[in-house]
Amino acid sequence: MKFGVVVFPGSNCDEDCFYVLQSVLKQPTVYLWHQERDLKKVDCVVLPGGFSYGDYLRTGAVARFSPIMQSIIDFAGKGGLVIGICNGFQILLEAGLLPGAMIRNTSLRFLCRYVTLRVDNAGTAFTNRCHPGQVIRLPIAHNEGNYFADGETLDRLRRHKQIVLRYCEPDGQVTADANPNGSMDNIAGLVNETGNVFGLMPHPERSAEMLLGSADGRLIFESIVSAYASK
Amino acid sequence: MPASKTKSKNGAAKLDALLKAHNLTQQEYEWIKQKLGREPNITELGIFSVMWSEHCAYCSSRPLLKLLPTTGTKILVKAGEENAGVVDLGNGLAVAFKVESHNHPSADEPHAGAATGVGGIIRDIFTMGARPIALLNSLRFGSLDAPRVRFLLNGVVRGIADYGNCMGIPTVAGEVAFDPCYTENPLVNVMCIGIVKPSQLAKARSKGVGNPVMYVGSRTGRDGMGGASFASREITVASNEDRPAVQLGDPFTEKCLLEATLEALATGDVVGIQDMGAAGLTCSTSETASRGGCGVDFDVAKVPQRETKMTPYEILLSESQERMLLIVKAGKEERVRQIFAKWDLQATVIGKVTDDGLMRVREQGKVVAEIPVKALTDEAPVYQRPVEMPPTLRELQTLDLKHVPEPRDYNDVLVRLLASPTIADKGWIYHQYDHMVRTNTAALPGRADAAVLRLKGTRRCLATAIDGNGTYTLLDPYLGGQLAVAEAARNVACTGAVPLAVTNCLNFGNPQDPHVMWQFKRAVEGIASACRALHTPVTGGNVSFYNESPQGAVDPTPVIGMIGLIEDSSSLVTTAFKADGDAILLLGETKDELGATEYLKVIHDLKRGRPPLIDLEREAAVQRVVISAARQGWLHSAHDGSEGGLAVAMAESCLADPDRMFGARITEEAVYPARLRRTRRLDTQLFGESASRIIVSCAPSAVTRLTALAQRSGVPCTRLGTVGGKRCAIGSWIDLPLAVLSEAWRTSIPQAMETR
């Protein structure tokens, strides 16, 4: 399975994603430059974290207009697997590949720390290696991770089981205390209706080796590989 | 070049005013005339003023900095040779690292000042051809009771976070201390570490007559005009009017500049490179020419400008951020230009390398300044400043314990110490920094005595810490210097790493004050002695003088940044206790020392006495024991005893992992042996800050081996007690639930910052 990691000016988790995919998961991986249109025949596109275009205007707002994004939108439309992490999630929202928007953390501060997350849908291409309700530990690092959507959208997300990851207590309870940024419904990650586009605020690439404090992030990438293999 | 003749009285007054505005003395003006063989014009006067400033020329400090040991088998680039020192790590890897201050800009504009401080030190590292992998910082503020101090802390932390986070360089470690002496003049020292292959090291020098000189990055504006000379003055009420001297940073541009620069350096087309930091275009052109033994000829009209009608003077002295100077192989300009264009950055040829040793500046072809580059660099004035021990010091060093009442409630003392901002948990600060990006952070902030970064593709880890203690240095500058080096090395050793080398940032008052200069001299001597004894040469650093306000000078604060190496990541040791039943041991010994402690400051409102003495041989031995035990895999935790002494260190090992806190019980006899009870006080045993002590925990089965190892090394080793339970208890004097200690330690800074 071949992965493509998109590089925007200001991306800063591109090398981290590349490293995990190539050196930890041993999957062929290439970089995709923002000004190109060629997706180099990849099977999964990764939109990494960072500050694409300096996050000027709004997080992800400029990146969505780059040439590569047009190709990615087409790719996703045909059922291609796309995962957006942190700033990548924000870009997916701006590009309309996922519903809703991100606003600033309620603390109005950047927050970098480990959180615990409940896997509410273990049936997706991105979480099939988890069991339903499993609690995983991943780090977050963002200024704008406060997910917002109107009531109708939230209803639809719930109905279609699109809410995949929610901030929770270590025992799995979803509480206000466990919510690090004010996100509606404690939402940390969601998929589109067709289940091939996934956005999440936590960083699985930062927690794919025990030396870094958690290897739970591997579950996300291994799920993708296994979903692709069983296709 | 006609210079206005200033013969009349009116003229003399004008010249005086001009010199004052440029922070130059009459004597220095005479020297400038000698160097030029004529009077300087205003542009040249501006150039001299920034290049001869304390900030750029190290006028007062240079003779003393020569005392520092700078050589070692692993040193690839020595202090002063380039923008940063470089140490060989083996396996085809080297590390470039340096610390720098941005104190004055941060006092004026905390957010912009701290942010551009981060930007500047990062550029110093990537101009070496190194990929920056980590940031650290050392911060000093006044008391958090003052609203202005909270404003400063908030702004500085945000500034560091906004810049470092956007750059994608993790801020992995730091230290923050609070003392009223820093109220008006906070200290903001930032350190950056980069990794480079020795074969790809870049040089900050011009080479090859006729080679083009290129300007890359952001356009030049009027911001940060004369920042170098601003940094070389005391802070006054009028400093608020200096605001245009504080630069504005744009981390997104710098991120692009970083990627483009590393890409350009990898082509081999760049023969020399220097960032435009202090004194901007002036410093980068003259220093690269001086190091390369050549001259430079460039035209300011070709410099990309973002404001109109800028004069040569303004263009030369601007400290606009995110700019670089490149000396490129002739004929390769276009290739270099294309790399920068890919990252949406301008790269423009502004001049060329010459062989006449002159810095010749033109405007539209017409020469507006012409100065021998050596006059600006190597020949800048050096002052043997007079030194004199402050007459008040002897009295301050006396400590009569008769006037220090012994506490009645030791529980209360421990809780108050843990809640004092200098000791309290710094999570409120470091959670605002992205400390995990680049996926190398093997020990998170607060979890080990030093940050630990794995080196991808190897089994090794780099450990790094930054330390300094202004109170110690005030009360004995020689000891303050020694103790800063020793603690930084000890922190690195506590993770299992062998300390390798040092960078330093020396924050002092006005060097024209003989008392300040004496403090500086003694501190440098102390640093030098400790660096020699611990085999950690100094690879570079920064001197920041004039840290004064109308309230006086800050406490002299030398800050030491240390790097070390762990051979195998599996032997990494962290601070927190790990298992019930583990034995707790003390390596080193507690002496009858209570002077200069945090305990005296917080509990008794006393800043006096002598700091702990240090035996550097003992220090080295203690570190060897802990490193060796870590390699054997015997240690479950290691933590050095510093501010707050043994009791605080014990509590910190109980609390360090918020998800898995462990209690501990220390026996009465271990901490306060009967034989000492006639001569020594209990508060000294619990809160004294004797150096060269490390608290370790290990499985009971490892105790014998560890004790034997310590004995062979001549290091005292005492069994203190046992890990377990949900309380921290020391003899019959302290017994508190972990929840109470945790609450005091973790909520102190957030409460001060968020609830007022």
Task: Note the ipTM here.
Answer: 0.97
Residues of B in contact with A18 (CB under 8 A): none
pLDDT score at B2? 44
B572 has pLDDT over 60: yes
A184 has pLDDT over 70: yes
Candidates A17, A86, A130, A168; catalytic one: A86
Is B436 close to A56, i.e. CB distance below 8 A?
A: no
CA distance B604 to A77: 70
B213 has pLDDT over 60: yes
Nearest-5° Cα angle at B138, B137 to B139: 115
Q: B453 — contact with chain A (CB < 8 Å)?
A: no
Residues of B in contact with A109 (CB under 8 A): 158, 432
Percent of chain A with pLDDT over 90: 94
Quote helix, strand, coil % in chain B, to nearest 5.
Answer: 40, 25, 35
pLDDT score at B231? 58
CA B183 to chain CA mean position, Å: 19
Give residue-wise pLDDT tens across range B480-522: 999 999 999 999 999 999 999 999 999 999 999 999 999 999 9
Domains of chain B: 1-64+202-380 (3.90.650.10), 400-424+573-756 (3.90.650.10)
Is A111 close to B431, i.e. CB distance below 8 A?
A: yes
B7 has pLDDT over 60: no
CA distance B569 to B496: 9
Is the model more confident about B464 or about B90? B464
Sort strands B131-141 and B171-178 into parallel, antiparallel or unpaired. parallel
pLDDT score at B756? 56
Hey, of B256, B259, B437, which one would you mutate to test binding to chain A, going by the most A CBs within 10 A of its CB?
A: B437
Is B439 close to A213, i.e. CB distance below 8 A?
A: no
Residues 163 to 222 of A: which have CB under 8 A from any B CB? 170, 203, 205-206, 209, 211-213
Please confirm, yes or no, whether A169 is among the known catalytic residues. Answer: no
Mean pLDDT of chain A: 96
Q: How far is B131 from chain A (nearest CA, A)?
A: 12
Q: How many CB atoms lie within 10 A of CB A30?
A: 15
Task: Judge whether B53 and B61 are in contact, CB under 8 Å.
Answer: no
Mean pLDDT over A40-61 rounds to: 91
B236 has pLDDT over 70: no
pLDDT score at B4? 47
Phi/psi-derived region of residue B132, left when phi > 0, alpha when psi is between -120 and 50, beta in every other case: beta
pLDDT score at B232? 58
Nearby residues of A93 by Cβ (< 8 Å), 6 or more positions away: A60, A99, A100, A101, A102, A199
Nearest-5° Cα angle at B631, B628 to B634: 90
B712 has pLDDT over 90: yes
Mean pLDDT over B622-632 rounds to: 98
Q: How many CB atoms lie within 10 A of CB B44?
A: 25
Phi/psi-derived region of residue B9, left when phi > 0, alpha when psi is between -120 and 50, beta in every other case: alpha
pLDDT score at B3? 46
B609 has pLDDT over 50: yes
pLDDT score at B83? 85
Task: Judge whether A46 and A83 are in contact, CB under 8 Å.
Answer: yes
CA distance B203 to B195: 15
Is B434 close to A110, i.e. CB distance below 8 A?
A: yes
Residues of B in contact with A23 (CB under 8 A): 456
Q: B88 — contact with chain A (CB < 8 Å)?
A: no
Residues of A in contact with B437 (CB under 8 A): 12-13, 16, 49, 141, 206
Task: Tell me how many residue pairs between chain A and chain B have CB atoms under 8 A apart.
Answer: 83
Minimal CA–CA distance to B108: which of B227, B215, B204, B13?
B227
First-to-last C-alpha distance (Å) of chain B? 60
Q: A67 — contact with chain B (CB < 8 Å)?
A: no
User: Which of A12, A56, A206 has its CB closest to that of B255?
Assistant: A12
Q: A228 — contact with chain B (CB < 8 Å)?
A: no
Percent of chain B with pLDDT over 70: 96
B246 has pLDDT over 80: no
Q: How far is A55 from chain B (nearest CA, A)?
A: 9
Give residue-wise pLDDT tens across range A96-153: 999 999 999 999 999 999 999 999 999 999 999 999 999 999 999 999 999 999 999 9
Confidence label for B6 from pLDDT (cuts 50, 70 and 90): very low
Domains of chain A: 3-229 (3.40.50.880)
pLDDT score at B424? 98
Q: A51 — contact with chain B (CB < 8 Å)?
A: yes
Burial of residue B565, with CB atoms counted within 10 A of its CB: 0-12 exposed, 13-18 middle, 19 or more buried: buried
Please confirm, yes or no, whether B639 is among the known catalytic residues. Answer: no
With CA atoms as reference, the chain A residue closest to B572 would be A211
Task: Judge whether B316 and B371 are in contact, CB under 8 Å.
Answer: no
Is A10 close to B252, i.e. CB distance below 8 A?
A: yes
pLDDT score at B552? 92
Residues of A in contact with B253 (CB under 8 A): 54
CA distance B68 to B270: 32
Mean pLDDT over B51-75 rounds to: 91
Task: Judge whether B589 and B715 are in contact, CB under 8 Å.
Answer: no
Sort strands A29-33 and A3-7 into parallel, antiparallel or unpaired. parallel
B223 has pLDDT over 90: no
Q: How far is A96 from chain B (nearest CA, A)?
A: 24
Q: How far is B165 from chain A (nearest CA, A)?
A: 8
Both tokens of B394, joined, read 């002897």
Both tokens of B342, joined, read 């890919």
CA distance A102 to A61: 11
Is B432 close to A211, i.e. CB distance below 8 A?
A: no
Residues of B in contact with A19 (CB under 8 A): 439, 456
Q: B425 — contact with chain A (CB < 8 Å)?
A: no
Mean pLDDT of chain B: 94
Give residue-wise pLDDT tens across range A3-30: 999 999 999 999 999 999 999 999 999 9
CA distance B462 to B414: 33
Residues 152 to 171 of B: which have CB under 8 A from any A CB? 158, 161-162, 165-168
B307 has pLDDT over 50: yes
Task: Judge whether A35 and A66 are in contact, CB under 8 Å.
Answer: yes
Nearest-5° Cα angle at A146, A142 to A150: 150
Residues of B in contact with A205 (CB under 8 A): 439
Please confirm, yes or no, whether B431 is among the known catalytic residues. Answer: no
Mean pLDDT over B360-386 rounds to: 96
Nearby residues of B121 by Cβ (< 8 Å), 6 or more positions away: B98, B99, B100, B135, B190, B191, B192
Confidence label for B234 from pLDDT (cuts 50, 70 and 90): low
Residues of B in contact with A50 (CB under 8 A): 168
B71 has pLDDT over 90: yes
Confidence label for B240 from pLDDT (cuts 50, 70 and 90): very low
Give residue-wise pLDDT tens across range A188-211: 999 999 999 999 999 999 999 999
CA distance B390 to B42: 40
Q: A108 — contact with chain B (CB < 8 Å)?
A: no
Both tokens of A127, joined, read 């979480």
Q: A20 — contact with chain B (CB < 8 Å)?
A: yes
The residue behind tokens 């026996």 is B667
pLDDT score at B228? 56
The residue behind tokens 């034989």 is B675
User: Which of A15, A23, A112 has its CB closest to that of B436?
Assistant: A112
User: Which of A112, A170, A211 has its CB closest to that of B435?
Assistant: A112
Give residue-wise pLDDT tens across range B168-194: 999 999 999 999 999 999 999 999 999
